[in-house]
């Protein structure tokens, strides 16, 4: 049997590396490059999503702020209407009181006119 030399082992290992291991590593590197590209695409997609979410969040806070201003304005209007309603109720009440007093005064004037007419009739024979 022939003796195996270091050169034979080196050549065999070199051939094994060239035919088996190197192609496998190249395939692994190619697949890693493909995966890296896919991850870059995914990260870019996430960056676009986060940008849109930040914009939506900004718009959300602007809308919430606007709604708060509208609600405060509506509260102010409601308070103004409540005050006007109370004032109107007071005015209506005063008007009803005045109408009753006018009616009472008309009745009294009517009674006084009747008394004056009665007095004039009674005084007429003396004139």
DSSP 4: P
Residue 4: the pLDDT is: 86
| pLDDT < 70 positions in the chain | 1, 127
Burial 84-123 (b: 16+ CB within 10 A, else e): eeeeeeeeeeeeeeeeeeeeeeeeeeeeeeeeeeeeeeee
Residue 124: the pLDDT is: 84
Residue 122: the pLDDT is: 85
CB contact set of 38 (below 8 Å; sequence gap of 6+):
none
Residue 35 domain boundaries = 6-89
Q: Find the largest Cα–Cα distance for the chain.
A: 181
3-class DSSP state of 3: coil
Task: Report yes or no on 63 lying in a domain.
Answer: yes
Residue 123: the pLDDT is: 85
Task: Report yes or no on 116 lying in a domain.
Answer: no
Angstrom distance (rounded) from CA 33 to CA 96? 92
Angstrom distance (rounded) from CA 111 to CA 2? 157
Task: Report yes or no on 125 lying in a domain.
Answer: no
Domain count, the chain: 1
Task: Report yes or no on 84 lying in a domain.
Answer: yes
Q: What's this model's pTM, rounded to 2 decimal places?
A: 0.51
């Amino acid at each position: 049997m022939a003796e195996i030399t270091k050169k034979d082992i080196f050549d065999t290992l070199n051939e094994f590396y060239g035919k088996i291991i190197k192609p496998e590593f190249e395939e692994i590197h190619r697949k890693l490059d493909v995966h890296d590209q896919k991850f870059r695409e995914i990260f870019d997609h996430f960056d676009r999503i986060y940008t849109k979410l930040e914009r939506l969040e900004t718009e959300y806070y602007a809308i919430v702020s606007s709604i708060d201003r509208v609600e405060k304005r509506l509260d102010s209007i409601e308070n103004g209407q409540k005050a006007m309603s109370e004032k109107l109720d007071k005015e209506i009440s005063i008007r009803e009181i005045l109408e009753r007093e006018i009616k009472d005064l008309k009745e009294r004037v009517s009674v006084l006119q009747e008394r004056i007419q009665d007095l004039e009739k009674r005084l007429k024979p003396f004139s």
